[in-house]
Amino acid sequence: MSEFLQQLLNGLSLGAIYALIALGYTMVYGVLRFINFAHSDVFMVGAYLGYYLGKLVPPGTLWGGLFVLFAAMIGCAGLGMLIERLAYRPLRGAATLNVLITAIGVSLLLEYSGQRFFGAAPRVFPPIFPERNFQLGALIISTNQLVVIGVAVLLMLGLQFIVYRTKIGTAMRAVSQNPKAAQLVGVNNDVVISFTFGLGSALAAAGGILYALNYPSIDPLMGVMPGLKAFVAAVLGGIGNIPGAALGGLILGTVETFIGGSQWSTYKDAIAFAILIIILLFRPAGLLGRFTAEKV
């Protein structure tokens, strides 16, 4: 029983990270109907920003950790908006395939620029948050897990607030449903799309830092696998659906951790993708997604 709880805790903290990344995929898909493959590399840049900023603050303090986290989020929000402005905006109105290929190009550009500027060798991520383990019965809870779950929950609540309670959030949903109608009520779609990229990229940066706290070896290709998993999570929950992305991330992280702790541990990635295939066979729109027939 205690092993079950321990694995559940580990799984939820990994799932929370997947969820943070998945939210960016799903939000961008919502407003532009394409998969931003460069998203997983923004996640990597977030981890590197954390690495460099982490050297500026005293290690192992809560305020220092939070400072690094927020600064990296702001930095990546800027990067995401820049990518959208330079790479995707000129392709507005072009075929989706062109945008997809561009996204792969941006992804490769970031990965190999990363190797050029950060070096290809893995680096050790500094312990920016205080590190301690608590014993709760047979359960061992690390401060990193608390930070991961706490930060992820707060960010998701914040996102929920922005998307459902603010004017720009309502505009995001409006653009996602009908970009033309949004323009006709006076929304500048470019501003909303830019904001969406900023928001998604900030969450990816937070994901990058939280991931690096748990797996403290970072390299310029570190985004590939978690990015793919988060993409799976977004599709699993229903691409374009925000609560779906969060749910998909949590499910995937938990399942992966449980399988990782079992005798089939070497198959954990294969099983994660098998789950995707099975769910899509029965619910092609994802768990919370639904096909919307346009009403004329």
Partner 1 sequence: MLHVADLSVAYGAISALAGISFTIESGAIVTLIGGNGAGKTTTLRTLSGLLRPSTGKITFLGEEITATQPHQIVARGLSHVPEGRMIFANLTVEENLAMGAYLQTDATLNAKNRAYVFSIFPRLQERLQQTAGTLSGGEQQMLAIGRALMSNPKFLMLDEPSLGIAPRLITTIFEKIVEINRERGITILLVEQNAHLALEVSRYAYVLETGRIVMQGPSHQLRHDPLLKATYLGG
Output 146 or 287, the one with its CB closest to partner 1.
287
Tell me the number of residues near partner 1 by CB under 8 A. 20
Contacts for 290 with CB less than 8 Å, ≥ 6 apart: 238
Output 180 or 263, the one with its CB closest to partner 1.
180
Q: How far apart are CA 154 and CA 37, in angstroms?
A: 26
Per-residue x/- track, 109-148, partner 1 (CB under 8 A): ----------------------------------------
Contacts for 243 with CB less than 8 Å, ≥ 6 apart: 237, 288
We find the least distance from the C-beta atom of residue 28 to partner 1, in angstroms, to be 18
We find the least distance from the C-beta atom of residue 178 to partner 1, in angstroms, to be 5
Stretch that binds partner 1, among 12-20, 32-40, 135-143, 170-178 (CB under 8 A): 170-178
Output 97 or 296, the one with its CB closest to partner 1.
296
Output 61 or 183, the one with its CB closest to partner 1.
183
Q: How far apart are CA 170 and CA 184, in angstroms?
A: 15
- Which 8-state DSSP code applies to residue 85? I
Per-residue x/- track, 176-215, partner 1 (CB under 8 A): -xx-xxxxxxxxxx--------------------------
Instruction: Tell me which H or E stretch contains 248.
Output: helix 242-260
- Among 173, 216, 268, 283, which residue sits at the site for partner 1 (rule: CB under 8 A)? 173
Output 175 or 252, the one with its CB closest to partner 1.
175
We find the least distance from the C-beta atom of residue 167 to partner 1, in angstroms, to be 7
- Which 8-state DSSP code applies to residue 34? S
- Among 170, 255, 271, 285, which residue sits at the site for partner 1 (rule: CB under 8 A)? 170
Contacts for 193 with CB less than 8 Å, ≥ 6 apart: 31, 32, 84, 89, 175
Q: Please give the backbone phi and psi of residue 134, each rounded to the nearest 5 degrees, phi first.
A: -105, 145
Stretch that binds partner 1, among 46-54, 95-103, 169-177, 215-223 (CB under 8 A): 169-177
Q: How far apart are CA 290 and CA 72, in angstroms?
A: 34
SS3 content of the chain, % helix, strand, coil (to 5): 75, 5, 25
Half-sphere exposure of 274 (CA within 13 A, CB side): 8
We find the least distance from the C-beta atom of residue 31 to partner 1, in angstroms, to be 13
Which amino acid is located at 250 in the chain? L
- Among 79, 171, 203, 252, which residue sits at the site for partner 1 (rule: CB under 8 A)? 171
Output 2 or 183, the one with its CB closest to partner 1.
183
Output 95 or 180, the one with its CB closest to partner 1.
180
Token code pair at residue 126: 């500094």
Output 9 or 28, the one with its CB closest to partner 1.
28
- Among 174, 242, 245, 276, which residue sits at the site for partner 1 (rule: CB under 8 A)? 174
Q: How far apart are CA 188 and CA 182, in angstroms?
A: 8
Q: How far apart are CA 159 and CA 198, in angstroms?
A: 12
Question: Which chain residues interact with partner 1 by CB under 8 A?
Answer: 167, 170-171, 173-174, 177-178, 180-189, 292, 295-296
